[in-house]
Amino acid sequence: MTQPAPGSDARPPEEPQSVQVEVRNRQGQRPWVVYALLATTISVFLLQLGTQDPRLAINGMACGNLPTCIGVKINQLILEGQWWRLITPILLHGSLLHLGFNMYALYVLGPEVEHHYGHLTFLVLYLLSGFSGVVLSFMFTVQPSLGASSSIFGMLAAHAVFVFRNRNIFGVQGQAVMRSILNVALINLLISLTPGVDGWGHLGGAIGGGLFAGLAAPQYKIEKDENGYFLANQTSAGYVWLASLVVLILFAGLTAVRLLS
pLDDT of residue 62: 87
Segment 245-258 mean pLDDT: 95
Domains, the chain: 32-260 (1.20.1540.10)
The phi-psi region of residue 217 (left if phi > 0; otherwise alpha if psi is between -120 and 50; otherwise beta) is beta
Distance (Å, rounded) from C-alpha 235 to C-alpha 217? 7
Tens of pLDDT, residues 158-191: 999 999 999 888 877 777 887 887 877 777 777 7
pLDDT band at 16 (very low <50, low <70, confident <90, very high): very low
Neighbour count for residue 237 (Cβ, 10 Å): 11
The residues annotated as belonging to the active site are 149, 202
**With bands split at pLDDT 50, 70 and 90, how would you rate the model's confidence at 74?**
very high
* Average pLDDT, rounded, for the chain: 87
Residue 157 pLDDT: 95
Residue 172 phi/psi, 5° resolution?
-60, -40
Q: 114 versus 10: which is more confidently predicted?
A: 114
pLDDT at 13: 53
Q: What is the pLDDT of residue 151?
A: 97
pLDDT at residue 126 greater than cutoff 70: yes
Q: Which amino acid is at 109?
A: L
Instruction: Using pLDDT thresholds of 50, 70 and 90, give the confidence band for residue 80.
Output: very high
CB 114 within 8 A of CB 37: no
Reduce the secondary structure of the chain to three states and give it as a string: CCCCCCCCCCCCCCCCCCCCCECCCCCCCCCHHHHHHHHHHHHHHHHHHHCCCCCCEECCEECCCHHHHHHCECHHHHHCCCHHHHCHHHHCCCCHHHHHHHHHHHHHHHHHHHHHHCHHHHHHHHHHHHHHHHHHHHHHCCCCECCCHHHHHHHHHHHHHHHHHCHHHHHHHHHHHHHHHHHHHHHHHHHHCCCCCCHHHHHHHHHHHHHHHHHHCCCEEEEEECCEEEEEECCCHHHHHHHHHHHHHHHHHHHHHHHHC
Q: Give the model confidence (pLDDT) of 132-141 as tens digits.
A: 999 999 999 9
Better-scored residue on pLDDT, 201 or 2 = 201
Q: Which residues of 188-218 are buried (b: 16+ CB within 10 A; e: fewer)?
A: beeebeeeebbbbbbbbbbbbbbbbbbbbbb
In angstroms, rounded to a whole number, what is the distance separating the alpha carbons of residues 58 and 227? 61
253: pLDDT strictly greater than 90:
yes
Mean pLDDT of the 33-59 span: 95
pLDDT higher than 80, residue 3: no
- Rounded to whole angstroms, the Cα distance separating 137 from 58 reads 19
pLDDT at 21 over 80: no
| Non-local CB neighbours of 68 within 8 Å, separated by 6+ positions | 48, 92, 146
Lowest-confidence region among 13-17, 53-57, 130-134: 13-17
Report the pLDDT value the prediction gives residue 261, as an integer from 0 to 100. 79
